[in-house]
Amino acid sequence: MEDEVLIREMLKEIFMSVFENVYTAGNGLQGISRYEEFAPDLIITDIKMRKMDGLTMIETIQHTDPDQKFIIITAYSDEHHLKTAKLLGIKDVLIKPVDSRELIERAREMLQ
């Protein structure tokens, strides 16, 4: 989930070269819809998005699927967001700009 179209499309291209199924969404509400439709093994999301932020989306999905795996990528490194992510059990928080190789490696590790 990424609200910036160029970043979302770039991430999609990168992941499509490595993984079989890649789905995108522009905000947390779309992310929940994609989750319900496709049940992905891993969700990569930004924090700040229109309509619903990534942390609220994570919390919503965790109510029905506490084992869902997430990686957060964000430009925000403030304590409040990082603390909230930690409280939600998110261990992988990457600060933008994100190295695509590192992101792919983290995704592979989580999917093993």
Residues 15, 61: contact at Cβ < 8 Å?
no
- When divided into structural domains, the chain yields a total of 1
Task: Tell whether 108 is covered by a domain.
Answer: no
In a domain, 28, yes or no: yes
> b/e per residue, 13-22, with b = 16+ CB within 10 A?
eebeeeeeeb
In a domain? residue 51: yes
Q: Tell me what pLDDT residue 2 has.
A: 65
Kindly report the pTM of this predicted structure.
Answer: 0.88
What CATH number does residue 21 fall under?
3.40.50.2300
pLDDT given at position 36: 97
The dihedral region occupied by 89, where left means phi > 0, alpha psi between -120 and 50, and beta the remainder, is left
Q: What is the mean pLDDT of each run of 10 residues along the chain (112 residues)?
A: 76 90 92 96 89 92 96 81 86 86 93 90
Joined tokens for residue 62? 């965790």
Q: What is the reported pLDDT for 57?
A: 94
Distances (CA, A) of 48 to 34, 95, 97, 101, 109: 18, 13, 15, 23, 25
3-state SS class at 76: coil
